[in-house]
Amino acid sequence: MKILLIQPAKPAKALGGEDFSVFEPLALEYLAAGVAPDHDVRILDMRLEPDLQAVLADFQPVVVGLTAYTVHVNTVKRLCQQIKELNPEIVTVVGGHHATVMPGDFSTPGIDIIIAGEGVFPFREVIRRLEKDQELSGIPGAVSLENGGVLIHHEDQGLDLDALPYPRRDLTAGYRQSYFSEWMRPLASIRTSKGCHFRCQFCALWKLTGGRYLTRQPERIVEELGAIREPYVFFADDESLLDTARMALLADLIQQAGIKKHYFLYGRSDTIARHPELLEKWKKAGLERVFVGLEFMGDRDLKLIRKGSTVANNLQALEILKGLDLDIWPMFMVRPEFERRDFANLRQRCLDLDLSFIGFSVLTPLPGTDLYQEVQDRLITTNYDYFDFFHTLLPTTLPLQDFYRELATLFQRSRSLKNQIRLMGKYRLQELPSLFKAYGQLMRRVKMLAQDYGA
């Protein structure tokens, strides 16, 4: 059976995403591994190859599977409609994060099957039954929908990550030189864990595993790493460092195996602050860059979002990472309630941190989070194209135009010129013109975002 798996591009009005990072579609590579080589599977990454009609005409799939985060919902629904118009006999399957937290959003004409939860095993069963012309209603967790579709809910709480097959990276061979995050290219991705046992108000990932932290055996991770060709590797975990003993063992095994890579992973500031020896060990194993969600520079704000860390943790973690000469990717949140003095205070705090790179996002109530439930009736837009962490979904204290001008200034003036030049030094010389162009376009768009909301 011919199966096409699609990674959609972000909608035109959404910011961020593939403008500065394109990670390999690891979820689709896992799905492919679950059904290949028994079937003819192709992965289409529409961020890099947008001509769906040409691929459908050439490949002529029987089944098309698509994955979606919240920002992709409208795009995926349009793609499914387009697929059905070209060939009504194609079976369309939608899964991914948004299908897990809000499956009802995909209960529309054009979508035949929705898979909520980890998709490898239910998707394999869907393909098996379609091939044998059997009813899908017999699949555990399957429910018939009013529009004639089927919803299959797969619980992830007891999932054994080591039971999953290794992802089929060979199916993205034609794209792999284009996967990157800023200067780290070409960049592979690997999953070593899933879930988190913290309860952040703005995050839904901990809910998907019932608050459990699911992990893979270090030996399996090392075996998979040994087959990855790219020099840079991103750990596509919800949170990479929570099980410190396991991560210490993994670092040791990587060194013992003689694997030489440059790693990029997520780490909580409180974990880093309490375990500097773990970061030192990982530095020796090849760790180059750490994403740290600092969120706010006030303990009151951190407590409100149930972050579970403190400003002291944040500052201590930054000092540890600086002392190890690790690249730091810190992220702060901007509240819609910010006034000019709040932007100015955050800008000065960032300058005081003396960092080469700082990221900012607008506090976004994503579906599936406790925050979304609390503020749902206050949303100023429910257009999923705007769920990109740049468009505000809640009323701003400042006029929208002023809010976005302040946000653009925050991006532009939160680092010293010396640190901006230091960051540019990480890029190859030939990459700088496209970097300047992309950054300039982003800042122009940020300043004009108020226009997206109309009157």
Q: Which domain holds residue 148?
A: 2-153
- What's the pLDDT band for 306 if we cut at 50, 70, 90? very high
Question: Same domain, yes or no, for 212 and 292?
Answer: yes
Count how many domains the chain has.
2
Residue 158, pLDDT above cutoff 80 = no
Alpha helices in 71-217 (DSSP H): 73-86, 97-101, 120-131, 205-208
Residue 289, pLDDT above cutoff 80 = yes
Question: Same domain, yes or no, for 178 and 92?
Answer: no
Provide the b/e sequence for 282-301 (b: ≥16 CB within 10 Å): bbebbbbbbbbbbbbbeeee
Residue 146, pLDDT above cutoff 90 = no
Residue 222 maps to a domain: yes
Question: Same domain, yes or no, for 144 and 172?
Answer: no
Strands of 327-334's sheet, edge to edge?
187-190, 232-235, 262-266, 287-295, 327-334, 359-362
Pairwise CA distance, residues 448 & 450, whole Å: 5
Phi-psi sector, 368: left (phi>0), alpha (psi -120 to 50), beta: left
Nearest to 269 by CA among 198, 207, 371: 198
CATH number, domain with residue 240: 3.20.20.70
Residue 419, pLDDT above cutoff 90 = yes
Nearest to 76 by CA among 54, 55, 107: 107
Pairwise CA distance, residues 5 & 25, whole Å: 10
- What's the pLDDT band for 35 if we cut at 50, 70, 90? very high
Are 253 and 208 in contact by the 8 Å Cβ rule? The answer is: no
Tell me the pTM: 0.96
Question: Same domain, yes or no, for 341 and 402?
Answer: yes
Question: Same domain, yes or no, for 317 and 355?
Answer: yes
CATH number, domain with residue 69: 3.40.50.280
For 375-407, how does the pLDDT look when each residue is reduced to its tens digit (9 = 90+)? 999 999 999 999 999 999 999 999 999 999 999
Residue 159 maps to a domain: no
Please tell me the predicted confidence (pLDDT) of residue 333. Answer: 97
Residue 345 maps to a domain: yes
Residue 169 maps to a domain: yes
Residue 313 maps to a domain: yes
| The last residue of a domain, from among 120, 153, 186 | 153
Are 130 and 100 in contact by the 8 Å Cβ rule? The answer is: no
Residues found in the chain: 455
The DSSP line for 391-431 is: S-SS--SS-HHHHHHHHHHHHHHSS-HHHHHHHHTTS-GGG
Residue 158 maps to a domain: no
For 180-203, how does the pLDDT look when each residue is reduced to its tens digit (9 = 90+)? 999 999 999 999 999 999 999 999
